[in-house]
Chain A
Amino acid sequence: MRTLRRFLKRLLSWSRAQGDEERLRVEIEEHLALQTAENIRTGLSPVEARRQAVLKFGAVEAIKEDYRDQRGLPFFETLLQDTRYALRRLRKSPAFTVTVILTLALGIGATTSIFTLVHAVLLKSLPVANPQELYRLGKESRCCYWGGYSQEDEFSIFSYDLYTHFRDHTQGFAELAAFQAGGALFGVRGTRGAGAVQSYPGEFVTGNYFSMFGIRAYTGRLLTPGDDRAGAPPVAVMSYRLWQQQYGSDPSVIGGSFNFDEKPFTVVGITPPGFFGDKLRAIPPDFFLPLATEPLVEADADLNKTDMYWLDLIGRIRPGAAPASIEADMRVELKQWLRSHWGDMSANDRVKFADQTLFLRPGGAGITSMREDYARWLQILMVVTIFVLLIVCANVANLMLVRGMERRRQISLSMALGAQASRLVRQALTECILFSLAGGAAGLGAAFAGTRLILHFAVPHVDGMGGVPISASPSIPVLLFAFGVSLVTGIAFGILPAWMATRVDPVEALRGASRSTARTGSLPRKMLVVFQAALSLVLLASSGLLTAALQRLENQNFGFAQDRRTIVQIDPALAGYRLEQLTTLYGRIHDLLSSVPGVSAAAVCLYSPQRGNNWGTGVWVDGRPAPGPHDDNFAFWDRATAGYFDVIGTPILSGRGITDEDTATSRRVAVINEAFARKFFKGEDPIGKHFGESDMGASRQYEIVGVAKDARYLSFNLAKPIDPFFFMPEPQHDLLPNTTTDSDPGSHFLHDIVIVTQPRARLSAAQLRQAMASVDPNLPIISIRTLREQVAGQFGQQRLIARLTSFFGILSLVLASIGLYGVTAYNAGRRTNEIGVRLALGANRGQIVARVLRGAFGLVVIGLVVGLPLALAAGRFLGSQLYGLNPHNPVVILLAVLTLGFTALVASLIPAIRASLISPVVALRAE
């Protein structure tokens, strides 16, 4: 209680400091007067009486100091004092202040902008109620389809049948919801008015999806289990974004009728604004449809296929339920379910049965596919920006040291007058922290702009669709991060100059700064330059490696032609086409597009090269034993119309490509690539051989009619040799044994039209749209771009890291050069006398230049020696991001060393030459 009262009094008296000071003065004066009078009474002379009185009173200034400490709040008072003092000093040297703040803003801004992304992609939970109660099945996301009765490593993707089995048997979940792993693209058309079909991303979800997330409708209602029953009236939920941007928040949308792939639905509600579905992704879904309507919309429905896995599962556990015991229960349930399908399982599935398991993992962040994709390069960028921040710190510390040198006399004087060393350190630190906070504030602005720029380049964006739900504007954690970084930065660059400031010998300094023996200032500054040179080398080498890797990727032999190729992306399913109509549709597309002036040929395929997706299967070569459970018999495949290989520019090496003779009724054929031939027919001639899909238990499905040159279709596995591929003619169907049903009807809904234009012909998108409209005005065009753009788009991330790292590398080089220039110039300046003497004694200017350069280069060489092992380590850290480029590539490392060396030469040559041009007379006179 007393302490509290005292604190309040102190606070009060702090506000009226002047009065108290005066009171103490009067009291001391009065005390001394009374004591003097007393002393005079005892017989002392007035002068001696006063002297004795003062002696008896003690050190007046010290007592005043103590009194002040008692009176106010010394900590805050000095802090305020130091701050005011620092601000005054900063105002007096605006150029210095602006330079330091801008340098800091760059470093803090870069770090903060990468942290904004790290936070959004790697750390943040979904914007749903109590995300910590959510658990997902699976450690890694496995998009988008999986077949059979076994999965590698873990069950992490599920069929509807398996989902209902879990839902009905697991006690620990309050709600367990399922939703499409891959997401769908719907052709959407409002039924009022004859609007064109627009394609929008969407997702099939269970009826309890929204209640599991604890999400309420923004307006209208969300899906309920009642909507998710076979025969229930088809309803859909729209995203807030689409409702607002496309329909102007029109309330009549709710209850309105919309066609999805030409099937009528009613939109019943709008999701809340922040909600972006169950995973962070580049293009968030705009529609949510009940799982039960999937067979209604999709021609190739997966809902009722027991062993077609295409759903992700997230559940909200009951309060108090232990995730570990739920996981144990579900493993048992999985085995029960698999055992109940023993009869349907292949021999290989049965062998793998014992290994089948699953994992329950925290699901508050949703399905973290984006996290898995971006984690590595975000880590790289985070490390790079921390390096930049370190270099910035070193640079600012260097500037502060110079400033400290200039203030030596002032500090000496302060200390001679009794200033405490700790107080001087505090003053210096206060100044630094002020700098870094200002730098941090400016850095936030830089971070905002930087984040937007990175998002723009790093994440694909499609016009008319939602962008990635990551906000560049700083959130609370980002603000805290920036503040923390500023504080740490301020201390990091401030501590050395502050410590140096107190190492001043007052006597030495006051005697004349220019003559003092002190080399004290130069060692720390030299160390900083070495540090900067080492870090710069690491950044330069890293950016060199990343750029070289990117160039290697872009200039590799892709095995297809990029010039004069345009890809028009469509999806016949969006316009409600049925399987049996497709061959006719592709024929029309071919005929009508080929007749466009400037077009020399056109073909349609499931996925064009570097499209980012491909289908794969296990291969069984005829005449060989069936592949076992652990045999590597995987191959990718594609489906295309006649003339495809000519259109895409991949040469056929032997046999023939896909032609018009391959029809629905002719023998089933396939064209393979060289990798397929190497993998399955080592040395034999594959033409005329047969193979089939091992999953279907078939070995004689296809006859090989041709071998095409290897072409790089996959946008992953870029560091590895090209994978085995086979290509099938579009009109041919793989019939299930003893039926007339196609085993994979979805693969006939081809996505990509490849168009070759004539040399020097110009083809506009409008011409293509017009031609497509004459094919079918209701068939939505998803995108039109050149094949070159499509390929370049796959390396967007890689290009972005390479560019950002190069930018930071150059930045660090500039900062390091400034540091080196500063140190060299400073040291040359200090040696003016010495140089004057040398010149007077007959040294020539070349020798002087060499002398100064030798000093500067010594530092750079030490920096290189320190930096080289770090640069080699950085290469290893980049590892897989280099796509097979040697991480210790000598050319790149040598180039980095030469660049640093050359820049250092320029930076130190200027002060060296300037030093050598001093007239000896002037130099000797300058005392």
Chain B
Amino acid sequence: MKQGILPVGNPMDQKREKSEVRQGTLALMVLKTLDVLGPLHGYGIARRIEQISGDLLAVNQGTLYPVLLKLEQEGSIASEWGTSENKRRARFYRLTREGRKQLQSETREWEQTAAIIGRFFAVKAEDLK
């Protein structure tokens, strides 16, 4: 195919793989946020993650919404309509029992992985001799 023929494409196309990786992390952050702070709307979750993680969500806050949908479809979170701080209709998300279990198991896994990786990084060349 000739280059330059497609001036506009779907920007998500090139990024899909990268965002999949991020989605996993993002999902865990969403679960943890809801676990700590209780029911929140999308903006609230975005703000919280932004505060804690720095600039991970500084751009493309919108990517949060597909992740929320996926988690809801999987049954880890539930949502319902409520009223936001500025008295407008907003969708509030909360952790379900299933989500809590998932969070626990994923936290365990994450800690294990982190511990193993940590040990690997701690190892110096002379330790292996």
Chain B associates with chain A: yes
**Does any Cβ of A come within 8 Å of B124's Cβ?**
no
Contact of A66 among B1, B6, B63 (CB under 8 A): B63
Task: Give every chain B residue within 8 A of A10 (Cβ-Cβ).
Answer: 73
Residues of chain A in range 385-422 having any CB-CB distance to chain B below 8 Å: 415-418, 420-421
Task: Give every chain A residue within 8 A of B47 (Cβ-Cβ).
Answer: 38
Contact of B70 among A6, A24, A31, A59 (CB under 8 A): A6
Tell me whether B12 and A30 are in contact (CB under 8 A). no
**Nearest opposing residue in chain B for A69, CB measure:** B66
Residues of chain B in range 1-16 having any CB-CB distance to chain A below 8 Å: 1-2, 5-13
Given A6-B70, A506-B7, does the pair A30, B89 have CB atoms closer than 8 Å? Answer: yes
Interface 9-mer from B29-37, B54-62, B106-114, B115-123: B54-62
Contact of A28 among B1, B62, B84 (CB under 8 A): B62
Given A62-B12, A418-B9, does the pair A57, B73 have CB atoms closer than 8 Å? Answer: no
Tell me whether B61 and A57 are in contact (CB under 8 A). yes
**Does any Cβ of A come within 8 Å of B100's Cβ?**
no
Tell me whether B43 and A30 are in contact (CB under 8 A). yes
**Does any Cβ of B come within 8 Å of A519's Cβ?**
no
Task: Give every chain A residue within 8 A of B11 (Cβ-Cβ).
Answer: 59, 62
- Which one of B47, B65, B90 has the highest number of Cβ atoms from chain A below 10 Å of its Cβ? B65
**Does any Cβ of B come within 8 Å of A192's Cβ?**
no
Tell me whether A56 and B61 are in contact (CB under 8 A). yes
Task: Give every chain B residue within 8 A of A761 (Cβ-Cβ).
Answer: none
**Does any Cβ of A come within 8 Å of B86's Cβ?**
yes
Given A27-B91, A30-B89, A34-B86, does the pair A6, B69 have CB atoms closer than 8 Å? Answer: no
Tell me whether B91 and A70 are in contact (CB under 8 A). no
Tell me whether A35 and B43 are in contact (CB under 8 A). yes
Task: Give every chain A residue within 8 A of B2 (Cβ-Cβ).
Answer: 503, 505
Contact of A70 among B5, B6, B70, B84 (CB under 8 A): B70
Tell me the smallest distance from the CB of A920 to a CB of chain B, in Å: 36
Tell me the smallest distance from the CB of B69 to a CB of chain A, in Å: 5
Tell me whether B91 and A26 are in contact (CB under 8 A). yes
- Indicate with 1 or 0, residue by residue over B75-108, a CB within 8 angstroms of chain A CB atoms: 1000000001110111100000000000000000
**Does any Cβ of B come within 8 Å of A23's Cβ?**
yes
Task: Give every chain B residue within 8 A of A862 (Cβ-Cβ).
Answer: none
Task: Give every chain A residue within 8 A of B89 (Cβ-Cβ).
Answer: 26, 30
Tell me whether A63 and B66 are in contact (CB under 8 A). yes
**Nearest opposing residue in chain A for B41, CB measure:** A30
- Indicate with 1 or 0, residue by residue over A1-41, a CB within 8 angstroms of chain B CB atoms: 01001100110010000000001101110110111011000
Tell me whether A5 and B62 are in contact (CB under 8 A). no
Q: How far is the CA of A867 from the CA of B83 in the complex (A)?
A: 77
**Does any Cβ of B come within 8 Å of A502's Cβ?**
yes
Q: How far is the CA of A30 from the CA of B85 in the complex (A)?
A: 11
Contact of B62 among A58, A70, A420 (CB under 8 A): A58
Task: Give every chain A residue within 8 A of B43 (Cβ-Cβ).
Answer: 30-31, 34-35
**Does any Cβ of A come within 8 Å of B26's Cβ?**
no
**Does any Cβ of B come within 8 Å of A247's Cβ?**
no
Tell me the smallest distance from the CB of A864 to a CB of chain B, in Å: 34
Number of residues of chain B lying within 8 A (CB) of chain A: 38
Tell me whether B84 and A34 are in contact (CB under 8 A). yes
Q: How far is the CA of A9 from the CA of B71 in the complex (A)?
A: 11
Tell me whether B42 and A27 are in contact (CB under 8 A). yes
Task: Give every chain B residue within 8 A of A415 (Cβ-Cβ).
Answer: 5-6
Contact of A31 among B6, B61, B69, B72 (CB under 8 A): B61
**Does any Cβ of A come within 8 Å of B46's Cβ?**
yes
Given A27-B42, A27-B91, A31-B46, does the pair A66, B66 have CB atoms closer than 8 Å? Answer: yes
Residues of chain A in range 787-812 having any CB-CB distance to chain B below 8 Å: none
Task: Give every chain B residue within 8 A of A67 (Cβ-Cβ).
Answer: 65-66, 69
Task: Give every chain B residue within 8 A of A503 (Cβ-Cβ).
Answer: 1-2, 5
Number of residues of chain A lying within 8 A (CB) of chain B: 43
Contact of A58 among B13, B41, B60, B88 (CB under 8 A): B60
**Does any Cβ of B come within 8 Å of A565's Cβ?**
no
Task: Give every chain B residue within 8 A of A505 (Cβ-Cβ).
Answer: 2, 5
Task: Give every chain B residue within 8 A of A30 (Cβ-Cβ).
Answer: 41-43, 84, 88-91
Contact of B69 among A26, A58, A71 (CB under 8 A): A71
Tell me whether B86 and A37 are in contact (CB under 8 A). yes
Tell me the smallest distance from the CB of A725 to a CB of chain B, in Å: 73
Tell me the smallest distance from the CB of A30 to a CB of chain B, in Å: 5
Contact of B65 among A27, A416, A421 (CB under 8 A): A27
Q: How far is the CA of A728 from the CA of B47 in the complex (A)?
A: 113
Tell me whether A9 and B61 are in contact (CB under 8 A). no
**Does any Cβ of B come within 8 Å of A65's Cβ?**
yes
Task: Give every chain A residue within 8 A of B75 (Cβ-Cβ).
Answer: 2, 5
Q: How far is the CA of A67 from the CA of B19 in the complex (A)?
A: 13
**Nearest opposing residue in chain B for A12, CB measure:** B73
**Nearest opposing residue in chain A for B15, CB measure:** A62
Residues of chain A in range 844-879 having any CB-CB distance to chain B below 8 Å: none
Tell me the smallest distance from the CB of A61 to a CB of chain B, in Å: 9
Q: How far is the CA of A879 from the CA of B66 in the complex (A)?
A: 67
**Does any Cβ of B come within 8 Å of A60's Cβ?**
yes
Task: Give every chain A residue within 8 A of B70 (Cβ-Cβ).
Answer: 6, 70
**Nearest opposing residue in chain A for B61, CB measure:** A57
Tell me the smallest distance from the CB of A7 to a CB of chain B, in Å: 9
Contact of B86 among A33, A55, A58 (CB under 8 A): A33
Contact of A27 among B5, B60, B90 (CB under 8 A): B90
Task: Give every chain A residue within 8 A of B1 (Cβ-Cβ).
Answer: 421, 502-503
- Indicate with 1 or 0, residue by residue over A40-60, a CB within 8 angstroms of chain B CB atoms: 000000000000000111111
Q: How far is the CA of A30 from the CA of B45 in the complex (A)?
A: 13
Tell me the smallest distance from the CB of B56 to a CB of chain A, in Å: 13
Task: Give every chain A residue within 8 A of B6 (Cβ-Cβ).
Answer: 415, 421
Task: Give every chain A residue within 8 A of B90 (Cβ-Cβ).
Answer: 27, 30
Tell me whether B91 and A420 are in contact (CB under 8 A). no
**Nearest opposing residue in chain B for A35, CB measure:** B43
Tell me the smallest distance from the CB of B47 to a CB of chain A, in Å: 8
**Nearest opposing residue in chain B for A507, CB measure:** B7
**Nearest opposing residue in chain A for B69, CB measure:** A70
Task: Give every chain A residue within 8 A of B84 (Cβ-Cβ).
Answer: 30, 34
**Nearest opposing residue in chain A for B85, CB measure:** A34
- Indicate with 1 or 0, residue by residue over A680-719, a CB within 8 angstroms of chain B CB atoms: 0000000000000000000000000000000000000000
**Nearest opposing residue in chain B for A415, CB measure:** B6
Tell me the smallest distance from the CB of B122 to a CB of chain A, in Å: 35
- Indicate with 1 or 0, residue by residue over A488-508, a CB within 8 angstroms of chain B CB atoms: 000000000000001111100
Residues of chain A in range 272-299 having any CB-CB distance to chain B below 8 Å: none
Q: How far is the CA of A59 from the CA of B62 in the complex (A)?
A: 8
Task: Give every chain A residue within 8 A of B10 (Cβ-Cβ).
Answer: 62, 65, 418, 420
11 contacting pairs across A/B (C-beta < 8 A): A24-B65, A27-B42, A30-B84, A31-B42, A35-B43, A57-B61, A63-B63, A66-B66, A70-B69, A416-B8, A503-B2
Known A31-B61, A415-B6; further 12 A-B contacts with Cβ < 8 A = A5-B75, A6-B73, A30-B89, A30-B91, A58-B61, A60-B62, A62-B11, A62-B12, A63-B65, A416-B7, A503-B2, A506-B5
Nearest 10 Cβ contacts at the A-B interface:
A58-B60, A63-B62, A9-B73, A58-B62, A34-B43, A418-B8, A31-B43, A70-B66, A57-B62, A6-B73
| Chain A interfacial positions (CB closer than 8 Å to B) | 2, 5-6, 9-10, 13, 23-24, 26-28, 30-31, 33-35, 37-38, 55-60, 62-63, 65-67, 69-71, 415-418, 420-421, 502-506
